[in-house]
Amino acid sequence: MNGVRFQALLQSCWLLVFVSPWLVGSHPQCLDYKPPFKPPEPLTFCAEYSQFGCCDSEQEQLIMRRYYLVMDFFDYSGYVACGKYIRSILCQECSPYSAHLYDAEDANTPMRKLPGLCGEYCTDFWHRCRSTLSLLTEDDETVEIEADRDQFCALLELKDRDYCYPNVLTNAELNADLGTVRADPEGCLQLCLQEVANRLRNPVAMVHANDGTHRFFIAEQLGYVWAYLPNGSRIDKPFLNLTKAVLTSPWAGDERGFLCVAFHPRYKSTGKAYVYYSVSVKREERIRISEFMLSVNDMNVLDPASERILLEVVEPASNHNGGQLLFGYDGYLYIFIGDGGKAGDPFGEFGNAQNKSSLLGKVLRVDVDDNSSGPPYRIPPDNPFVKDPRARPEVYAYGVRNMWRCSVDRGDRLTRTGRGRLLCGDVGQNKFEEVDIITKGGNYGWRAKEGFSCYDKKLCSNSSLDDTLPIFAYPHTLGRSVTGGYIYRGCEMPNLNGLYIFGDFMSGRLMSLKEDPSTGEWHYNEICMGKDQTCNFPKTINTYYKYIISFAEDEAGELYFLSTGSPSAAVPAGVMYKIIDPSRRAPPGKCHFTASPVTVKGKLSHFHPRERFVNRRKTTTAAPKATPIPTYTNTTFINRFVVTSSYPTAATTIRWTPTTADRHSTTTARLRAVPTTPIYSPTKAPTTQRPRVTYQPTTRKPEKSYQPTTRPAPKQHQTTSRYHSLATTEHLNKGRPTMPRPSFREVTTMRPPKTQKPNILNVPKMSDKRHKGHAEEVDGSDGQNRVNKKVRGSKQTKVRHRKLKNGAVRLASHGVKLPDRGRVEIHVKGEWGTVCDDLFDSKAGTVVCRQLGYPFVLRVARRAEMGEGSNLNILLDDVKCEGTEKTLLECKRAKIGEHNCSHKEDVGVVCGHDEFEEE
């Protein structure tokens, strides 16, 4: 470490870096509180998020299955009109802004059950498909608000017009460069951090053993090396303790001490590790390179008695000690030694760095394999100065001042481009700091040059200098002590691939370089901490301690840096941070690894972060009163539908559980049971028929951007079925024409075949026990319509029955398949029945139509014009209303079940949205 780096630090204050970036407001975030990603395979059902979003194909399958479960309640006309709304709403879990759409950015507030909609879209959805709300929310209480547009959209509408759906899809600002690393107008890249380790005393290095355990090892300047498990727990016993031998002091600015540790490339089999530290031998300061062996009794301890000294170099001054050890992909050990200290490398005619007979100011390369007998190291035969009698054979490169932190490029994960490159930060003298790529035999210019400029004009003009220029140099206005970093080659943050991330110890500045492969030039961008909600992810922060001591890479290739608030070897003010890209992550599961087991002898100290996370501000968006719920893609979701009607057909009980199993289909393109999967259990069930959900049509011309696609009505099925409209309390239909399921891309419109057999799922046999709140057994003959839905958080075996309120109405008809007209049927005390036309006028019809969501009654149909409900009881007669009642039960009428009429007098109505619209 550089003397300049510490000497200005006379006060050891705890200083945090706070950077004010450009970004404010919301940011891309998924419902699992992580950044979005690019799916490994294009999505077909939620195709608008095929390139970037929060779903992979497995999550998309779960959404698609839920869509079909909901659509099982629709007849064809409702299927055509409402399909695209339901698909779009369900697919918002895949939106890169889904956390905002669902109010999930603040984990302390309830999460929406459905995404936030724009006002116009919500109104259009309400006019057409309001009765689907309770199916989508699986909350019976929402049935009560389906009739009221204001309450309906108060629940669904998101007041932020930029982020509500569908505006969020078309907002140019939100979608510009979506998925790329965000930068402010000055080009400063917005990143975040995660605290990984703390209470460290000048943490000078973090390395891994590359042995499959994914442990990491942190070295403190004082002389300790600590072993950490992948979960962040620290083993209490030091991996290595050299505090008695290490030469250092507690004063801020001492560059001496334990400086580095490196593991042999085949550490798993050799058990060898190498260390770089300062010592005092006979009052002479030296740097020492030693080899240690793993203890035979503990895999988390080096044997202190096994030390074997490879090399010692006398230091003429107390600074510029160098301090880097690493192994290249060639298997050789590289040693980076400073020029010996003092200002301007004043030693000898040209200084130590330009003197190839000195080991100071050099990069050394030695072979430590097969050294059990004989010398502790050998000279690689292709070292550049092996045949030069005036040079030390260990020298690989020269002309370096004080290289502080170097790294080996792993190379691109796919192409291996750049693999094996050595990159170093070399601390400058008075004006410039530089970053170099180390090559065999290279002369890096010091003391002739500092950065790109001349330092010693005489040496600088020497034609034999033949120096290698840095790839980047920056003036002391940006920082005064470079800390070399790494090129990111990890898996978790694909946007950072190829980005060289480094910093400055004195200024606390984080920086990056990116190579242009076409020109070989490196382009600079500063790195800033994301502000406001940019880093609003669990365990993420946007502050760090100023004095950046070192960068690090774990076994998986993820990047870290170590910094401190007080640069003293005696003060436990150091923290290690993981670098996080908040704009994009890898697809789920792609970066999974299985760590080899670690046998721990002794105690563990579990990690507890000390930094405050980014302030989670309260959301201003209204959220429903319901308890926060998990998303369907993350936790088990069970949705049961048990429905009976007055016509005996086949009932269906469906259990919904997230799964990766393929969706199977019968000839009618509907889900069928597969014995080998736990989702659909094939068993015979009582003969009943599944209900339909019917959309509410409107003659009001909807907004153009939301107009659903329509196709000609299908031909009538051979089997006769009855059509019912759905009232605001989710009254369910009796008959249901079987519709085929569309392909993934044809969700809202698909013409069925001319004839189809009813879609039937083999389901578990239901119990004969009576259910609370229902008058009859579920035997398919009581005229009831029931929807059993899971209570969130309840056990799978518990079934909750959905009650229909007394006075709920529906429209039924023979032949005519229009949702706005039909025979009036009313639900009273668990039973559906008909209404006689005696005294029934337009005011009574208005009550019925308003229940169904229509503001007007166009006509009252008498004398069973809409068909006779001969299979039902007549429940109401002599109904006389004022037109303001909520249900027919509030009108003047005969007692329930008392009548002097027959089914030939069953009344019907024709409803509409316009008082004068044509029938």
> HEC string of 456-524?
CHHHHCCCCCCCCCCCEEEECCCCCCEEEEEECCCCCCHHHCCEEEEEECCCCCEEEEEECCCCCCEEE
SS3 state of residue 267: helix
Which is higher by pLDDT, 212 or 736?
212
808-912: CATH topology: Mac-2 Binding Protein (3.10.250)
Alpha helices in 262-368 (DSSP H): 267-270
Q: What's the residue count for the chain?
A: 919
Domain ranges across the chain: 3-16+181-605, 808-912
Is the per-residue pLDDT at 48 higher than 50?
A: yes
What residues are paired with 258 via a beta bridge? Answer: 277
**H or E stretch including 149?**
helix 149-156
User: Are the C-beta atoms of residues 891 and 850 closer than 8 Å to each other?
Assistant: no
Sign of CA dihedral 826, 828, 834, 840: negative
Which is higher by pLDDT, 806 or 420?
420
pLDDT of res. 17: 35
User: Are the C-beta atoms of residues 392 and 486 closer than 8 Å to each other?
Assistant: no
- Exposure b/e, 862-884, CB count within 10 A at least 16 = b: eebbbbbbeebebbbbbbebeee
CA distances from 434 to 441, 593, 676 (A): 19, 36, 63
Is the per-residue pLDDT at 695 higher than 50?
A: no
**Nearest Cα residue to 560 out of 881, 227, 193:** 193
Which is higher by pLDDT, 354 or 656?
354
Average pLDDT over residues 551-578: 97
Interacting residues of 13 by C-beta distance below 8 A, sequence separation 6+: 565, 566
Report the C-alpha gap between 588 and 492 in whole angstroms.
9
Percent of the chain exceeding pLDDT 70 equals 75
Is 808-912 the same fold as 3-16+181-605?
Answer: no
pLDDT of res. 419: 98
pLDDT of res. 185: 84
pLDDT of res. 667: 28
Is the per-residue pLDDT at 620 higher than 70?
A: no
Is the per-residue pLDDT at 4 higher than 60?
A: no
**Nearest Cα residue to 683 out of 577, 617, 764:** 764
Q: What letter does residue 91 receive in the DSSP assignment?
A: G
Is the per-residue pLDDT at 81 higher than 60?
A: yes
pLDDT of res. 816: 58
pLDDT class of 856 with cuts at 50, 70, 90:
confident
User: Are the C-beta atoms of residues 38 and 107 closer than 8 Å to each other?
Assistant: no
pLDDT of res. 403: 98
**Nearest Cα residue to 38 out of 178, 164, 167, 174:** 178
Which is higher by pLDDT, 803 or 592?
592
pLDDT of res. 77: 85
Interacting residues of 222 by C-beta distance below 8 A, sequence separation 6+: 201, 202, 243, 246, 248, 257, 258, 569, 570
Average pLDDT over residues 676-697: 37
pLDDT of res. 126: 94
Q: Which DSSP string do the residues of 234-260 spell out, in sequence order?
A: EESS-SEE-TTT----SSTT---SEEE
pLDDT of res. 176: 85
User: Are the C-beta atoms of residues 836 and 876 closer than 8 Å to each other?
Assistant: yes
pLDDT of res. 160: 87
pLDDT of res. 492: 98
pLDDT of res. 755: 34
Is the per-residue pLDDT at 119 higher than 60?
A: yes
Interacting residues of 277 by C-beta distance below 8 A, sequence separation 6+: 223, 242, 245, 246, 247, 257, 258, 259, 287, 288, 290
Give the tens place of pLDDT for each residue, 471-516. 999 999 999 999 999 999 999 999 999 999 999 999 999 999 999 9
pLDDT of res. 781: 34
Percent of the chain exceeding pLDDT 90 equals 62
> Of 120-129, 151-160, 487-496, 729-738, which range is least confident?
729-738
Average pLDDT over residues 251-260: 94
Which phi and psi angles does 80 have, rounded to 5°? -65, -45
> Of 111-115, 355-359, 786-790, which range is least confident?
786-790
pLDDT of res. 29: 92
> Of 69-83, 265-279, 349-363, 419-433, which range is least confident?
69-83
pLDDT class of 668 with cuts at 50, 70, 90:
very low
Report the C-alpha gap between 775 and 789 in whole angstroms.
19
Q: Given the DSSP bridges, would you call strands 189-200 and 522-529 parallel, antiparallel or unpaired?
A: parallel
pLDDT class of 916 with cuts at 50, 70, 90:
low
pLDDT of res. 818: 76
Report the C-alpha gap between 559 and 505 in whole angstroms.
17
User: Are the C-beta atoms of residues 835 and 791 closer than 8 Å to each other?
Assistant: no
Token readout for 289 is 């390179």
Averaged pLDDT score across all residues of the chain: 80
What do you get for the CA distance between the two ends of the chain, in Å? 87
Which phi and psi angles does 189 have, rounded to 5°? -70, 135
What residues are paired with 285 via a beta bridge? Answer: 280
pLDDT class of 44 with cuts at 50, 70, 90:
very high
**Nearest Cα residue to 229 out of 488, 599, 532:** 599
Which is higher by pLDDT, 723 or 873?
873
Report the C-alpha gap between 325 and 518 in whole angstroms.
32
Give the tens place of pLDDT for each residue, 365-414. 999 999 988 899 999 999 999 999 999 999 999 999 999 999 999 999 99
Report the C-alpha gap between 880 and 888 in whole angstroms.
9
Interacting residues of 210 by C-beta distance below 8 A, sequence separation 6+: 263, 265, 267, 268, 555
**H or E stretch including 789?**
strand 788-789
SS3 state of residue 568: coil
The correct CATH number of 3-16+181-605 out of 3.40.50.300, 1.10.30.50, 3.90.380.10, 2.120.10.30 is 2.120.10.30
Is the per-residue pLDDT at 293 higher than 90?
A: yes
- Exposure b/e, 57-92, CB count within 10 A at least 16 = b: bbbbbbbbbbbbbbbbbbbbbbbbbbbbbbbbbbbb
Report the C-alpha gap between 76 and 755 in whole angstroms.
13
